[in-house]
Amino acid sequence: MNSGKERMIGVGIVAVGLIILLGKLGTFSFLGRNFWPLLFLIPGIVLHAMYMKRKVSSFMLLPAGILSVYGLLFLLCNIWGWHLMAYLWPLLLLGVAIGLWQYAINDISLSRNVYTGGVILGLISVFLLVITLLRTGIIYVIAVLLIGAGTWLVLNNRGKRKR
């Protein structure tokens, strides 16, 4: 046998052995458990890049927007806990809205209704997100911000009088 072929076979055997060893040590389950949202995010980013390079039609922005938003949402929930989905579920609607909106603004041959539908769905999603977040402790943050803004307005105008 040729020594080049023997080396390639040896490298292949070592690679298979390392894969088996890392698999038994749990490396792949760790990667799969923690980075699976990238299976949504990366194709979304790739589709955006392919559109920017004019390799795909503007229709591909629809799944690109959806996959990107879902990938970010799932990554966020995977890192900080799936209990967040109880509050962030309106972002699922926002993903579809962003995909529709991107498609509509980049394809002038589409009906204006697609753009309008994307905007309306996005507004509904943001409205539902705000309502959902108001059920949590964010209402305290809003209250503190309002108090701070009011205090700033009162103190800022204290020394200024109308002439």
Q: What's the confidence (pLDDT) of residue 27?
A: 77
Q: Confidence band (pLDDT; 50, 70, 90) for 159?
A: low
Contacts of 80 (CB under 8 A, 6+ apart): none
Give the mean pLDDT of 76-92: 93
For the stretch 30-64, pLDDT in tens is 777 788 899 999 999 999 999 999 999 989 999 99
Q: What's the confidence (pLDDT) of residue 70?
A: 97
Contacts of 74 (CB under 8 A, 6+ apart): 36, 37, 40
Q: Which of 135, 131, 134, 72 is nearest to 98 (CA)?
A: 72
Q: Which of 96, 102, 101 is nearest to 116 (CA)?
A: 101
* 13-27, 73-87, 109-123: segment of lowest average pLDDT: 13-27
pLDDT surpasses 70 at 103: yes
Structure tokens at 140: 């305290």
Q: pTM higher than 0.75, yes or no?
A: no
